[in-house]
Amino acid sequence: MIASMRPVIIAANWKMNTTPDDAGALARTIASRTRQPGVMRVICPPFVCLAAVRDALAGEDVAVGAQNIHHELAGAYTGEVSAPMLAGLATWTILGHSERRRDAAESDALISRKLGRALAAGLRPILCVGEQLAEREAGAAASVVAAQLGGCLAGHDPAVLLEAGLVVAYEPVWAIGTGRNASGADAAAMADTIRETLRAAGWGGLADDLPVLYGGSCTAANIGEFLAEPAIDGALVGGASLKPDEMAGMVARAAVTAAARAAAGG
């Protein structure tokens, strides 16, 4: 699939912010201020806010996502949430975010199991990959991301993953929550690496159909640099996604990209 045919996506990761009392109002405000044609919008609040955000977004064309799922369906896993528990609450889920890898020691093999659970539950996955600063400075960024992809996608059929709507988010770990972001060229080069890695792993031309987002201190001020790159299909937004003005600016810029792609493809 050429870039003009891939969806343009802005996904909000609220992380451990908001409460059920204020999440709904925030979601409604963001939804009302980001009604732009051609842009898929997703809001991923904390688990305790899923119901409030779902209800607040009724009638809006905004999807709700979870920030994580457990690798088992049920059992003695205190404090965890499984994919089947999200039925009626979310239709997307983030998997393998660098903060989960860092704070919960999630491995690629574990994330692969979570991916299987997401697919079985009908959840659209956003799979996160990205390198540490030391790895980039050592010239190992591409090999690190390729290894993460190999571990997370091992055993999963490419056609099934694309049918389920798999999205990959490239999030350089050194840019998350630091105010420092990769350049548009850096992100585009890694998106190319991601698709080349998958082509070499047996995906063939299907790799071109995979949406790749950028994540890492993305804001309304810098998102244009990323969306100007044909290899980048949107953003996974952290802290800025809690600010309606920022979200309005990012989705408006994404709509420009979506319109250009529609014109190119039509």
> What are the residue numbers of the active site?
97, 171
Task: Rounding to the nearest 10 degrees, give the CA dihedral for residues 73, 153, 126, 238.
Answer: 110
Q: Are strands 167-170 and 8-13 parallel, antiparallel or unpaired?
A: unpaired
Dihedrals phi, psi of 63, to nearest 5 degrees: -85, 155
Check residue 202 and report its DSSP letter.
I
Sign of CA dihedral 74, 75, 77, 79: positive
Could you give the CA distance from residue 241 to residue 30 in angstroms, rounded to a whole number? 9
Q: What are 92's two structure tokens?
A: 């997307």
Q: What are 110's two structure tokens?
A: 């574990």
Q: How many CA atoms lie within 13 A of 216 on its CB side?
A: 25
